[in-house]
């Protein structure tokens, strides 16, 4: 009887090993690596997420609102019961963060562009470009890496590309969804193909859905090593808007962001309780370029050239001479104002990354 039971158990184990995900192609017809790599690029140029949920390390579950744009521009606010916990914004101009949790002193941090702010909030060593790519349905790709191998992973049900270079090894996973390949996750280690070193992070996209003509993940899970146990971050999207109005507007036009000038401390980050929609909706505001209530400039008087003003005289001439030449206008940043935040009354802690 025992021999029969052992035989049945071994047969069952053999069946389990034989089971697995079959590739959606015939032998020798695997998808070209170049075609798969295109799926790792951001699927949209910009996105607004007015309603999402973030779960941090299995414990903290909170509401999330975020904006993201290619060129490594990002802004996110995490709230709990309507109370701000942290707001992080970054762009090529630098980063700023309002922080009200307990891992570091509460306050306002800002400085030149540095991804350490991302790791301080998420616990994951992601670059600016990598985090933005994840939000826009793509992948954080290590620069300088090249394709080492390609295979079908029967256990996970993914076509896997392995990249190596610049001191890292990276796996990229691609799933077959809606009769097409979509980027579905990956892993990153330090080291080489022959000697993988420290594991840095693993992430996975699933629950894909169509947003603005692009197929984006409805949920993203990220794991990374922590001091006591692994960090786990889960992003679940409820509402998204592709290529919002602020991503097409002039950086100094009416794009709905806070001005970052400190104000009177009443800035709410552009997310809540404001007549401004924070960039979520296509506003009728034209940035002040047309339909202004300001009176039109008077027409030039007859007989005088339109572009030749009368020379100053008397007191006006003396004031202008004392003031010297007119200063040149300051250069305008190309970054939309929605990616700028201020301290909003918090203590200025300086640069977290110095």
**Mean pLDDT (the chain, rounded):** 79
For residue 3, what pLDDT band results from cuts at 50, 70 and 90?
low
Mean predicted confidence (pLDDT) in 312-329? 45
Percent above pLDDT 70 for the chain: 71
For residue 331, what pLDDT band results from cuts at 50, 70 and 90?
low
**More confidently predicted of 344 and 269:** 344
Extents of the domains making up the chain: 33-251+337-350
For residue 251, what pLDDT band results from cuts at 50, 70 and 90?
low
First-last CA distance in the chain: 70
Lowest mean pLDDT among 198-207, 235-244, 273-282: 273-282
pLDDT at position 125: 87
**More confidently predicted of 182 and 282:** 182
pLDDT at position 122: 85
**More confidently predicted of 302 and 24:** 24
For residue 274, what pLDDT band results from cuts at 50, 70 and 90?
very low
pLDDT at position 319: 38
For residue 318, what pLDDT band results from cuts at 50, 70 and 90?
very low
Structure letter (DSSP) for residue 128: H
Per-residue pLDDT of 82-111, as tens digits, reads 999 999 999 999 999 999 988 899 999 999
CATH no., domain 33-251+337-350: 2.50.20.10
pLDDT at position 273: 36
pLDDT at position 56: 84
Q: Which residues pair with 176 in a beta bridge?
A: 181
Mean predicted confidence (pLDDT) in 139-167? 95
**More confidently predicted of 212 and 103:** 212
Please say if the pLDDT value at position 78 is more than 50.
Answer: yes
Please say if the pLDDT value at position 58 is more than 50.
Answer: yes
Please say if the pLDDT value at position 74 is more than 50.
Answer: yes
pLDDT at position 120: 86
pLDDT at position 48: 97
Per-residue pLDDT of 176-196, as tens digits, reads 998 899 999 999 999 999 999
Mean predicted confidence (pLDDT) in 143-154? 95
**More confidently predicted of 226 and 158:** 158
Per-residue pLDDT of 6-55, as tens digits, reads 544 444 444 334 447 899 999 999 999 999 999 999 999 999 999 999 99
């Amino acid at each position: 009887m025992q021999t029969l039971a052992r035989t049945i158990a071994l047969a069952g184990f053999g069946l389990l090993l034989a089971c697995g995900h079959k590739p959606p192609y015939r032998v020798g017809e695997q998808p070209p690596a170049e075609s798969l790599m295109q799926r790792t690029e951001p699927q949209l140029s910009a996105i607004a997420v007015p309603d999402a949920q973030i779960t941090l390390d299995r414990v903290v579950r909170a509401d999330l609102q975020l904006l993201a744009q290619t060129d490594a521009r990002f802004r996110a606010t995490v709230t709990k019961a309507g109370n701000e916990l942290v707001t992080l914004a970054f762009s090529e101009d630098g980063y700023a963060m309002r922080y009200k949790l307990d891992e570091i002193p509460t306050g306002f941090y800002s400085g030149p562009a540095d991804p350490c702010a991302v790791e301080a909030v998420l616990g994951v060593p992601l670059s600016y470009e990598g985090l933005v790519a994840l939000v826009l349905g793509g992948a954080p790709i290590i620069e300088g890496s090249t394709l080492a191998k390609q295979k079908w992973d029967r256990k996970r049900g993914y076509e896997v590309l392995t990249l190596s270079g610049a001191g890292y090894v990276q796996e990229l996973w691609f799933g077959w969804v809606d009769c097409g390949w979509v980027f579905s996750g990956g892993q990153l280690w330090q080291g080489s193909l022959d000697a993988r070193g420290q594991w840095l992070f693993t992430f996975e996209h699933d629950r894909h859905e169509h947003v603005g003509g692009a197929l984006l993940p409805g949920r993203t899970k990220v794991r990374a090593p922590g001091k006591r146990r692994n960090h786990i971050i889960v992003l679940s999207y409820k509402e998204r808007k592709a290529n919002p109005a602020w991503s097409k507007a002039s950086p100094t036009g009416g794009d709905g962001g806070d001005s970052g000038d400190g104000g009177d401390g009443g800035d709410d980050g552009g997310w809540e309780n404001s007549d401004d929609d924070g960039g979520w909706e296509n506003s009728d505001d034209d940035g002040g370029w047309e339909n202004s209530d300001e009176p039109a400039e008077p027409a030039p008087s007859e007989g005088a050239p339109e572009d030749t003003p009368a020379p100053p005289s008397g007191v006006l001439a003396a004031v202008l001479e004392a003031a010297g030449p007119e200063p040149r206008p300051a250069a305008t940043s190309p970054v939309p104002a929605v990616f700028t935040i201020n301290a909003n009354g918090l203590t200025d802690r300086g640069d977290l990354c110095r």
